Chain A
Amino acid sequence: EVQLVESGGGLVKPGGSLRLSCVASGFTFSNAWMNWVRQAPGKGLEWIGRFKSKADGGTTDYAAPVKGRFIISRDDSKNTLYLQMNSLKSEDTAVYYCAMGSTSWGQGTMVTVSS
């Protein structure tokens, strides 16, 4: 059974940083394109970035609102995906989901950016 467990969310001040983690199990992590998707309170879904498998180039792509501020990384030896979030803004307040492709999603971790 595929499991994705996010952690690392919390309250952070504007301009601050936070690192989220997503531990995966139940599939071959190194073969998977891994993604981060967020959902602001009461709003819809926004795909913010992905990390392709090494076999498909091992590159990252980011949505415009987070490009240059967020960095996605992965440690295939630990089956873990990361999201380093820098220069946080109030509009980054959201539940952050880790997803394997579009197939399986974690429960999400809440990030609140507020002074």
Chain B
Amino acid sequence: DVVMTQSPLSLPVTLGQPASISCKSSQSLVYSDGNTYLNWFQQRPGQPPRRLIYKVSNRDSGVPDRFSGSGSGTDFTLKISRVEAEDVGVYYCMQGTHWPTFGQGTRLEIK
């Protein structure tokens, strides 16, 4: 299976400051159709995961534009331009190019 490695695993951030999470895959995530199936999820405490970003950089409906995704091949990044209190939770990258696998999760907390 493709191993997804996130860093950092814990991310204390001051309100209003930016945050960045890295996700690296053990294999290229470029599919035969040319697409890269890399998603980002947010899981707030006690809630199911919510997809924020699909195919590397596309925001899902209703996701604030302070969230952005970038990357290619095996290296990907989720950025939050200005962290708000509601952003507290665990963030997961997930690849769907091969058998779906998730990163370990990054816990974002307010400093």
Q: State the A residues within 8 Å of B (CB).
A: 35, 37, 44-47, 50, 61, 63, 97, 102-103, 105-108
Does any Cβ of A come within 8 Å of B39's Cβ?
A: yes
CB distance from A70 to the nearest CB of B (A): 15
* Inter-subunit contact A47/B100 (CB<8 Å): yes
Residues of B within 8 A of A108 (CB): 48
Chain B interface residue count, Cβ-Cβ cutoff 8 angstroms? 18
CB distance from B9 to the nearest CB of A (A): 10
* Inter-subunit contact A46/B39 (CB<8 Å): no
Residues of B within 8 A of A63 (CB): 99
* Inter-subunit contact B99/A47 (CB<8 Å): yes
A-B complex: 4 closest residue pairs judged by Cβ atoms: A47-B100, A105-B48, A45-B102, A44-B105
Query: Hey, what's the 0/1 contact readout for B92-111 against A, CB within 8 Å counting as 1?
Result: 10101001111111000000
* Inter-subunit contact B102/A44 (CB<8 Å): yes
Residues of B within 8 A of A105 (CB): 48-50
* Inter-subunit contact A102/B48 (CB<8 Å): no
If A44-B92, A45-B94 touch, whether A102 touches B51 (CB-CB below 8 Å) is yes
Residues of B within 8 A of A107 (CB): 48
* Inter-subunit contact B49/A103 (CB<8 Å): no
CB distance from A15 to the nearest CB of B (A): 27
Residues of B within 8 A of A45 (CB): 41, 49, 92, 94, 102, 105
Give the distance in Å from the alpha carbon of A61 to the alpha carbon of B96 in the complex: 13
Closest to B6 in A: A44
Give the distance in Å from the alpha carbon of A90 to the alpha carbon of B52 in the complex: 32
* Inter-subunit contact B54/A102 (CB<8 Å): yes
20 CB contacts below 8 A, A to B, read A44-B92, A44-B102, A44-B103, A44-B104, A45-B92, A45-B102, A45-B105, A47-B99, A47-B101, A47-B102, A61-B99, A97-B48, A97-B49, A102-B39, A102-B51, A102-B94, A102-B96, A103-B54, A105-B49, A108-B48
